[in-house]
């Protein structure tokens, strides 16, 4: 498996997926700071709305784009597989957060 994407199409999907993931993490950062207690909730709780309605869809788009590059054998590279695995971490965090709130 090559270290970097082998074709221009693989590069475009990988870069688009990484860009979506970084945008998603930037949009979700205020919410995660509130969840971990590093910041207090703003009046109205806008951190959660931005993270839920903008950050989560961007993360799902990144997951799909990086999943395509990791699944297609002609496009597979170490970078795409590592980025795909990295996109699973925030998704797992969302699952823990949602199930934690459902258990209350």
Residues 51-61: pLDDT tens digits?
Answer: 999 999 999 99
| pLDDT score at 98 | 86
End-to-end CA distance of the chain: 45
State how far the Cα of 7 lies from the Cα of 78, in Å rounded to an integer. Answer: 14
| pLDDT score at 45 | 81
Percent residues over pLDDT 90 in the chain: 76
State how far the Cα of 1 lies from the Cα of 53, in Å rounded to an integer. Answer: 36
Give counts: helices (H), strands (E), the chain. Answer: 4, 0
| pLDDT score at 13 | 96
| pLDDT score at 101 | 79
Say if CB 63 and CB 91 are below 8 A apart.
Answer: yes
């Amino acid at each position: 498996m090559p270290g970097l994407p082998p074709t221009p199409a693989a590069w475009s999907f990988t870069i688009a997926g990484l860009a979506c993931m970084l945008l998603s993490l930037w949009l979700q950062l205020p919410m995660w700071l509130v969840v971990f207690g590093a910041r207090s909730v703003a009046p109205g709780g806008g951190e959660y709305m931005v993270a839920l309605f903008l950050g989560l869809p961007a993360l799902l788009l990144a997951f799909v784009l990086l999943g395509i590059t990791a699944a297609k054998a002609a496009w597979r590279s170490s970078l795409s597989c590592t980025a795909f695995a990295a996109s699973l971490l925030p998704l797992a965090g969302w699952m823990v957060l949602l199930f934690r709130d459902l258990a209350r």
